[in-house]
Chains A and B, each alone.
Chain A
Amino acid sequence: MLEINAGGMYYRDLNQKIRDAVNSGEKDITVRNVNGQYYIGDGLRGKSTITVEGVPGNDLAAFMDGPTLVIKANAQDNISNTMNTGKVVIHGNAGDVLGYGMRGGKLHILGDVGYRVGIHMKGVKKQSPTIVVGGTAGDFFGEYMAGGVLILLGLNNDGRPIVGDYLGTGMHGGVIYVRGEIDKNNCGAEVGILDLDDEDMKVLKESLTEYCKDMGLSLDEIMKKGFKKLIPVSLRPYGNLYAY
């Protein structure tokens, strides 16, 4: 196990240190005293697990390809931007624009997330990204989604709406599972609201089993409430927009 003290360290130096450690084969790294440093895990490859103590800055795990990042606090904006594989676990809330263009791997957030989460996620059969949000989400959740899985649990929402407006606007692939009811008025015109079938339940349970393990939550407790699924009604939501 390697410990890095990030206190007062410039982000470029810190990320270089982390990259060097991963490249030298270190599998278990703890970074202490993180305080807003940007780009942690950016473009990082390999199979290491990096535990971050303190609040990391924006662009955490952008383009990341393999490692696991565990954040013991809240995190900020732009997490897992265009991430390829690997996993990010956040034991707190996170900000806006999470998982933008995400291509694979997992992003687990215990608390609430901000606006524009899961925009333009994509996936093919073998490689598909999953984001699980424990709390609530803001507007534009899953906008332009082209693949992958978005799960929104709305735990501890104290009566607040689980999700904002423009849910799944422009969605043309992938699936969104929301725990509880969805108001059609909050959705983009391109999505349909359906009940889950057996295949959905399998996907959902598999993802949530892992999520619950990461977060120390009870799967049974979560599954007590029903889910709805959102999928695109057309592969070509804008197919009739143009005159040829």
Chain B
Amino acid sequence: MFKSLAPPEYLATIDREKCIRCKRCIQNCGWGVYSWGGDKVLINTSKCVKCLRCYHYCPEEAIEIVDNPTRFKQNAYWGYNHLRNIKRQAETGGIPLTGMGSDLPYTILFDSLLIDACQVTNPSIDPLREPMELRTYLGKKPSSVEFEKGRDGKLKLKTKMPPQLKLSLPIIFSPMSFGSISLNAQKVLAIAAKECGILMNTGEGGLHEDLFPYRDNIIVQVASGRFGVNPDYLNAGVAVEIKIGQGAKPGIGGHLPGEKIPLEVARARMIPVGTDAISPAPQHDIYSIEDLRQLIYAIKEATNYKPVSVKIAAVHNVAAIASGIVRAGADIVYLDGFRGGTGAAPSIIRDHLGIPIEHAIAAVDDRLRQEGIRNEASIIAAGGIRSSADAAKAIALGADAVAIATAALITMGCTTCGKCYTGNCSWGITTQRPELTARLDPEVYAERLINLIHAWEHELKEILGALGINAIESLRGNRERLRGVGLDTQILDILGVKPAGR
């Protein structure tokens, strides 16, 4: 066979002195790097993706995965990936795929924003002593409220409130479908969402019956492939999301490779086993805001008016689009920045289309306020939220809540190796191979995800305490409490944030 001219990225090495020939590495590697040679473990390092599963399961610390020192000559302009992709394309004529969010060194605005804190004149609050309110309601808010006196003489709310989604804290899990991730990974999300009083999202792949017990913590998604969508499904969760776009691949559809379509996934999606599940780029019943409105209300009619969220990728004209979405009747606008993760996307799209979520939040929040419709819909921000600090900054820029996916997968073992599209994930997350998915015990890993959410919850409370405020509501859109470092005036203007020192 013709040897690829793209040298392996990593070298999987075994210290032969330490190795006790237990063969665990052979069992654990989803990519088939190791095999048994009769007296020792053989290594086909060209398949290694540095997911580190073997390293973690080697009882003797005998394995080391190193970046291949034999690289193309360093060149500040022709990067490693440029050469590698050209060589792969020359060999296959195909589009290189990738998983996870873009790792290119574009400016990360979250890392150029700092949060305020109280000193002397405005006392901070001790979250260990004082109650801190993180509860968040997603949905349309009335522009005014009226009260009336009840028979008992007490004041009662007269205005009929539109339906709201109640969250214990302003963090939810981003949509990830059964198919793109394993059912066990979905269960981890569902268990954690229920335990933490937040929400998970089915993505576009139907709702497996094992998730029915978690329906109060589930948003169901409708996307262009309409996989798994029937009236039961629409009514199964607390809300319905129409997916127009995804930050990692704005403007292009979904493509679940046939390798990830075994019988159960095929059945949930109602397509033949082993075909590629294709979600067309646009929804062919939505070519305009008016069409979107029709689908939003068709769903509302079919669900007795559950809240409807519309998810879009953050793109250049995001503010105007979001305004249209709100006017079309959406209860929630879900913005996904270009750093957002994916199970499979052409790397050329992932790395070069869209805009960062930080700009998008600020632009959308501004626009909706200018138009006097900010109360008509909540904003969820997603696409690269790495920590509670990113979450707090996103909320201060104007989001009502953030959505996380990669961070959640990392608690399940993911090392962001980026090879999710192969269906070989050694951690049992983005694969449907039963021997791999079986390793992800939902109960065990849910515990870890719950820990993460609780830790972020504490951190958010600490941040609020330091800011001297006791409710997340007071941070929402409060850009006065952010400062920019090293940002030019135009970016500061877009973000509506002052430079540090002012």
Closest 8 CB pairs of A and B: A43-B302, A101-B226, A243-B94, A243-B92, A42-B301, A122-B270, A235-B275, A84-B230
B153 sits at the interface (CB 8 A): no
265-279 of chain B: CB within 8 A of chain A: 266-267, 269-272, 274-276, 278
A-B contact pairs, 28 of them (CB 8 A): A38-B294, A39-B301, A42-B302, A43-B231, A43-B302, A59-B298, A63-B231, A81-B285, A82-B229, A97-B285, A100-B284, A101-B229, A119-B280, A120-B225, A124-B270, A143-B280, A144-B278, A146-B275, A146-B278, A170-B278, A170-B280, A173-B271, A235-B272, A236-B274, A239-B276, A242-B346, A243-B89, A243-B92
Name the residue on A nearest B89 (C-beta).
Answer: A243
Among A62, A65, A119, A143, the one with the most B-chain Cβ atoms within 10 Å of its Cβ is A62
Asked if A242 meets B97 with Cβ closer than 8 Å, knowing A63-B298, A84-B230, A144-B280, the reply is yes
CB-contact partner of B97 in A12, A81, A140, A243, under 8 A: A243
Cβ–Cβ contact A242 & B280, under 8 A: no
Name the residue on B nearest A237 (C-beta).
Answer: B276
Chain B at the A interface: mostly helix, strand, loop or mixed? mixed
B215 sits at the interface (CB 8 A): no
Cβ–Cβ contact A63 & B229, under 8 A: yes
Name the residue on B nearest A173 (C-beta).
Answer: B272
Which chain A residues border B302 with CB–CB below 8 Å? 42-43, 62-63
* 15 extra A-B contacts, CB within 8 A, seeds A65-B230, A147-B270: A38-B297, A42-B301, A97-B285, A100-B226, A120-B284, A122-B227, A123-B270, A146-B278, A147-B271, A172-B276, A173-B275, A235-B276, A242-B257, A243-B93, A244-B422
- The complex places the Cα of A171 from the Cα of B138 at a distance, in Å, of 39
CB of B225, distance to nearest CB on chain A (Å): 6
Which chain A residues border B225 with CB–CB below 8 Å? 101, 120
Q: How many residues of A contact B (CB 8 A)?
A: 46
Cβ–Cβ contact B258 & A120, under 8 A: no
- The complex places the Cα of A242 from the Cα of B91 at a distance, in Å, of 11
Cβ–Cβ contact A146 & B271, under 8 A: yes
Cβ–Cβ contact A243 & B96, under 8 A: yes
A103 sits at the interface (CB 8 A): yes
CB of B81, distance to nearest CB on chain A (Å): 13
CB-contact partner of A172 in B88, B95, B222, B275, under 8 A: B275
Chain A residues in the interface with B (C-beta under 8 A): 12, 15, 38-39, 42-43, 45, 58-59, 62-65, 78, 81-82, 84, 97, 100-101, 103, 116, 119-120, 122-124, 127, 140, 143-144, 146-147, 170, 172-173, 235-244
B234 sits at the interface (CB 8 A): yes
- The complex places the Cα of A237 from the Cα of B302 at a distance, in Å, of 34
- The complex places the Cα of A235 from the Cα of B278 at a distance, in Å, of 11
CB of B155, distance to nearest CB on chain A (Å): 31
Asked if A45 meets B231 with Cβ closer than 8 Å, knowing A101-B225, A144-B280, A172-B278, the reply is yes
- The complex places the Cα of A129 from the Cα of B196 at a distance, in Å, of 41
Cβ–Cβ contact A236 & B276, under 8 A: yes
- The complex places the Cα of A39 from the Cα of B225 at a distance, in Å, of 21
CB-contact partner of B298 in A42, A173, A240, under 8 A: A42
B182 sits at the interface (CB 8 A): no
- The complex places the Cα of A54 from the Cα of B162 at a distance, in Å, of 33
Which chain B residues border A241 with CB–CB below 8 Å? 94-95
Which chain A residues border B421 with CB–CB below 8 Å? 244
- The complex places the Cα of A170 from the Cα of B285 at a distance, in Å, of 17
Which chain B residues border A236 with CB–CB below 8 Å? 258, 274-276
B166 sits at the interface (CB 8 A): no
Cβ–Cβ contact A78 & B270, under 8 A: no
CB of A87, distance to nearest CB on chain B (Å): 16
